[in-house]
Amino acid sequence: MKINDVILRTVTKTVVFIILTLGIYLFFAGHHAPGGGFIGGLVLASGIVLLYLAYDIETVHKGMPFDFKKVAALGVLLATGTAIGSLFFDAPFLTQTHSYINVPIFGKMGFSTVTIFEAGVALTVVGVVVTIILSISEDE
């Protein structure tokens, strides 16, 4: 008998959006409140894992055709990229900079290169967690 998982799938469709939004919220909150790249990345990854639980690997892969090993590598590249970037401005390695820019709707907002560094961390976490889950599940 085929198990009917229509309730799981319907709930997942709604909940995944909440989880992903929370992940992105945590990521951006990191500078002034608890959160940041690592926890944001973990929450994003948990959303993706929920998708894998509710659907099968092929279906999710059709929607997200990423090689998650490369996502992780890209994240590390991004993080070291911001660190190496400081070399070109004659500043010590890993120096971060920030500035305030007037954005049309939101008004004055602070932008910082730490955000790019943290984006790298988040991508690495997502890549690593999903790679681990997928390698274990695909093992025969």
Number of continuous H segments (helices) and E segments (strands) in the chain = 5, 2
**CB closer to another protein out of 77 and 116:** 77
**CB closer to another protein out of 27 and 68:** 68
Measured between its terminal Cα atoms, the distance across the chain in Å is: 23
φ, ψ at 94 (rounded to 5°): 70, 10
Q: How far is the CB of 119 from another protein (least distance, A)?
A: 15
Q: How far is the CB of 79 from another protein (least distance, A)?
A: 10
**CB closer to another protein out of 13 and 70:** 70
Enumerate binding residues for another protein (CB under 8 A): 69-70, 72-73, 76-77, 80, 84, 87, 90-96
Instruction: For residue 71, give Cα distances in angstroms to 29, 75, 115, 127, 131.
Output: 23, 6, 17, 5, 10
Cα four-point dihedral sign 77, 133, 55, 45: negative
Q: How far is the CB of 102 from another protein (least distance, A)?
A: 27
Q: How far is the CB of 133 from another protein (least distance, A)?
A: 19
Q: Which of 51, 4, 42 is nearest to 23 (CA)?
A: 42
